[in-house]
Every structure is written in C-alpha cells, then in structure tokens.
Structure 1
Amino acid sequence: MCMYPNSFPFSEPFHILKKSMKFVQFSLILCQLLVLVVFDSIPAGHGLDLSRFAKDEGPPASTASDFVCQPCRQGLMNLADVIFIPSEKSIHTFNHTVRGARQPITLQHFVNPQDLSFDLVTVSSAHVVGHGHFYAEHSWWPGYSWQVAVCPKCRQHVGWVFQAITPEEGTADRFYGLIFSHLSHNATGDTSLYMTRRNVL
C-alpha cells in the first residue's frame, strides 16, 4: 500500500508550522517598514533624541578653505593668507603653480637636525592646533620660536607655528609654516605632487 505525503500522520501539523513561520517573517518585515516610516515622519527637533548615540567624528571638514588636510579633508588654509617670509636657513626657494590661483605661491625647502626635509608655505592664518611647547632652538626663522602644528580633526602633523620671541615693528608677531606635501587642493583634490615646480633664481 502506497502512502502519499498528504496521508502521512504528521503532514498536517508540519504545513501549519511552515505557514506560521512565513507569517512571522512577514510580520517582522512589516514592523521594520513601519518603524522606518514613523521615524522618517518625525520632524527635526521632535520625538526621540538620538543625538547621544551619534558617533563623534570631530569637527566637520571645511569647504571654504582652498587647501585641506590630505587624510581627513579638514580645511587648513586659504590662498589669500599666503605671505612670503624669507628665511636665511632655507636650502632653496621655489614657486608652485596652483590651479585657479592668479600667481604661484613661494615655497621654501628646509632640512631639520634629523635630516628630514620639508617644503613649507608660510601663511598669516591657518586652521591648525598648536601642540606642545614653543622652542627657540633650531628655529628656521631666527628670532622666532616654534611649536608643532597639527590638524584639528585627524591630529596629523601639518607644520609649525612660529612666534616672535621679541615682537618688532614691521615684522609678523606670528605666522605658520605648513608642510605643502601634507595639503590637498580643495577645488580639484590635487596634491602638491601634481603641481608644476618652477625654481626661483
């Protein structure tokens, strides 16, 4: 005698259980959609305050700055703030042609006591954070003490703050020397490696 599946004694409970599981899955999907609709309909400033669950990612990247930090895109400097402050300790000086700028900006090449080299652009204002103490030793600008400058968002070393030891009339009391290879052009996303170098005689 052949026994078909429908005639198996446990077939009916099995089908009921299977239908119940499908109903539960459908109910869960419906609840998820309902939650999304409810939360999307809550006006800003009303309902649940979920701000305490938000991840702190530091200050937002500035879109107004001409140059930003390469890793995190935080705004650091503007072309309007570039000032050329010559140093007798620079190895050489050269210009960089920046896309969108009316004239190239002048950079100075330095080597520190650890034999590390840097191309610096000097600016009167920069969106950086000073880190540590000011030191007068080994300053690339005699008469100025220096302090390490870092990005306010990712804390990468981006240059130095230079502070006049004895302020004098006609000279800057403070300026910033930023490492040009650590900057990226905000408008194009280019780094200094893609810009044209022209030596200054």
Structure 2
Amino acid sequence: SVVILCPDFLLCRHCGFNIAPAAFVVNLRSPAAESFVNQTLFGLNNVEVQALRNPLGIQFNVVTAKGGTCIGVGNKWQIEHSWYPAHGWKLCQCSHCSKQIGW
C-alpha cells in the first residue's frame, strides 16, 4: 500500500499561497518576547508563539521558521530594532501576492 503524506503549510493570510512547510517551524525565542505560549499549530505540537512589540508599540504574535518562499525587501539587513540580538531583519513579502507576511 502507498501512504501519501499531506504536510501542513504556513500560508499567506492574504492569498493562501504556501509560504513554508510546517517542518520549517522552529522555536527560537527572542529575549524581547513579552510573553509566549506553546500551541498545536500546523499539525505540530508545542509551537512557540511569542508576543513581540515593535518601536511603535504594535504587538505581534510571532512564529519562527527556518526558511520559506517569502521575498526579502531591500538590499540591506536592518539591525536596529531587531528582536534577535546580533541578527538583522528585512521585510518579507509573499512571493505570490507581494503582501508583507513577516520579517
């Protein structure tokens, strides 16, 4: 018999495009996390969802992944206001609809 696995994916909330397989999810806690909770998401147990706040005071619930199909915006990595010390960030757009999906 043949077993067909249908892995869960992180999807763009705007267009539903597959951003990354669930297997790419990693728990990488930021020292800037105001809180965190483990949830069952994407067919995985104990996915860490962190509450992080940007300099404008806007709070985001964040799940981290080690890769995906998003497109980094801009040429330079930003280090100011990084939630992860010694790591830069760029805006990340969906490769299908070009809406921002993360950093």
Which of structure 1's runs of 4+ aligned residues deviate more than 3 A? none
Same amino acid, percent of matched pairs:
26
Shift of 1:65: 5.7
Q: Deviations over 1:100-159 (max 9, x none)?
A: x24131111100001111111111111100001311111100010111101011111111
- Mapped to 2, the partners of 1:116 and 1:66 lie a distance apart of 26
Shift of 1:67: 2.0
Q: Deviations over 1:150-183 (max 9, x none)?
A: 10111111111xxxxxxxxxxxxxxxxxxxxxxx
Q: CA RMSD of the aligned region, Å?
A: 1.8
Ranked by relative contact order (alpha carbons within 8 Å, sequence separation 6 or more), the top structure is: 2
Shift of 1:96: 2.1
The one of 84, 87, 92 aligned to 1:149: 92
Specify the code of the residue in structure 2 equivalent to 1:127. T
TM-score with structure 2 setting the length: 0.84
Shift of 1:64: 6.7
SS in 1 for 2:26: coil
Shift of 1:71: 1.9
Report the equivalent of 1:110.
52
Point out the structure with the larger helix share.
1
Specify the code of the residue in structure 2 equivalent to 1:67. L
Whether the aligned pair in 2 keeps the contact of 1:96 and 1:106 (CA below 8 Å) is yes
> Unpaired runs of 5+ in structure 1?
1-62, 161-201
Rate the CA distance shift 1:102–1:144 in 2: closer, same or farther, 3 A. Answer: closer
Q: How many residues align?
A: 97
